[in-house]
Structures are given as structure tokens and as C-alpha cells.
Amino acid sequence: MPGFLFYWIAWSVWIIATFLLDKDHPSRGRLAAASLLLIILSPCRAEFFHLEFTLSLPLILFFCYGHYGKMGVWELANQAVRILIVTVAHAGYLLMVLSEPVLLIVHPAIWKTALFFLLGQLAFSRFSDRLYGTLTGFVHGQILYALLLEKYGIRVPLDAFFLDETAVLFAVLQGWNGLARLFAQFGGKSVPAGKERPFS
């Protein structure tokens, strides 16, 4: 059922942030509020330039763009190039699927998560940049794909199915960061500052 993975992951994030994270954790309130707002807005729909989307989509972009608000010009330009790579890769993948439907044998969320997780690891060094940059490029790629098909009269709504894919990608990126920190602790090594750090 479209939306099941999104709701499952979003509710899990809300429960963890609200009840399990330390009260002094800097991301506790932000995670709880973001996950709850995404759940509330997910059934709502809007249309802009013939693009139909769930209202959770602009909220995702709002949180992602907020990450880049304090960056300098050169760092922002560097991040923009990396995000563009992810954007083009996602749009290209979706166009390729149109001609190679054999890729749909495996659930698209699995293919996309594996592909863009690896791409995120290559394109970004710091965890925060990897998380926001990969998600931003992922969303931009879906929008670009939808706009390209709209020119041919094909409507591609960004709905619950897209939220499933985005949520799975978010969960894998966060989960990998958690494993990296866990292995570093077991190995007696601290995670280098700026390389792998909690959601912020």
C-alpha cells in the first residue's frame, strides 16, 4: 500500500525523538516536529505549474534548504554542484526505467535507496551534507522528471509512493550513520568532527 513505509518510518522517528532521545539532545524537538508535520500534511494535495504534489514535499525542501542558510558562497556553490549530480542521476534513472521496465521487478524503493545511498557516500563527505544534499537532489530529480513528462501530457503526481521512497532513503542514511558511530565506539575510535555527526 503506497504510503505505508513513509508512515511507518515517520511515526518511528516521532516516537524515538519524543520518548527515547535525551531531553537535552539538540535535534530532539526538530525531529519530533518535522516528522509530525510531514504526517499531518501528507494527505493534502496541491498543484503548481501542472505539477501535483503532496504538501509534505515543500516541507521536506524547506528543512533541506535550511541546512544551507549559513554557508558561504563558495561552499554553497560546491554543494549545489553535488546536488545537481544527484538531481540529474535521479531524473536519468527514472527516464531509463521507462525504456527498461525490467528494473521494476525489484521494488523501486530498493533500487533507488541502494543507488542514491552509494551516490550520497561518494558525493558528500560530512553526514549532514550527505543527508540534506542527497534528499534535496532526490526530490529535485523527481520534480524534473515530472516536469519533463508533463510536456508530453503525462502526469506524474508526487504522492504517497514518492514519500515511501524518500522515507526509506532517509532511514538508510540515518541508519548507516548510526552504525558508523557504533563501530567507531566499539573500535575505540572517535568519529572525526564534521565527518559523521547526528542529524542537525
What does 94-148 look like in DSSP terms, one character per residue?
A: HHHHHH-GGGGGS-HHHHHHHHHHHHHHHH-SSHHHHHHHHHHHHHHHHHHHHHH
The answer to whether position 197 is within a domain reads no
* DSSP structural state of residue 153: T
Question: Counting Cβ atoms within 10 Å, is residue 130 exposed (0-12), middle (13-18) or buried (19+)?
Answer: buried
Total domains present in the chain: 1
The answer to whether position 199 is within a domain reads no
The answer to whether position 192 is within a domain reads no
Rounded to whole angstroms, the Cα distance separating 11 from 51 reads 27
The answer to whether position 133 is within a domain reads yes
Domain that holds residue 129: 4-186
- In this prediction, residue 4 carries a pLDDT of 86
Q: Which three cell numbers stand for residue 87?
A: 538531481
The answer to whether position 194 is within a domain reads no
Q: What is the pTM of this model?
A: 0.86
Is the C-alpha dihedral spanning 122, 164, 5, 59 positive or negative? Answer: positive
The answer to whether position 195 is within a domain reads no
The answer to whether position 112 is within a domain reads yes
Q: pLDDT tens, 60-108?
A: 999 999 999 889 999 999 999 999 999 999 999 888 888 776 666 667 6
Q: Which amino acid is located at 10 in the chain?
A: A
The answer to whether position 200 is within a domain reads no
- In this prediction, residue 191 carries a pLDDT of 53
- In this prediction, residue 158 carries a pLDDT of 87
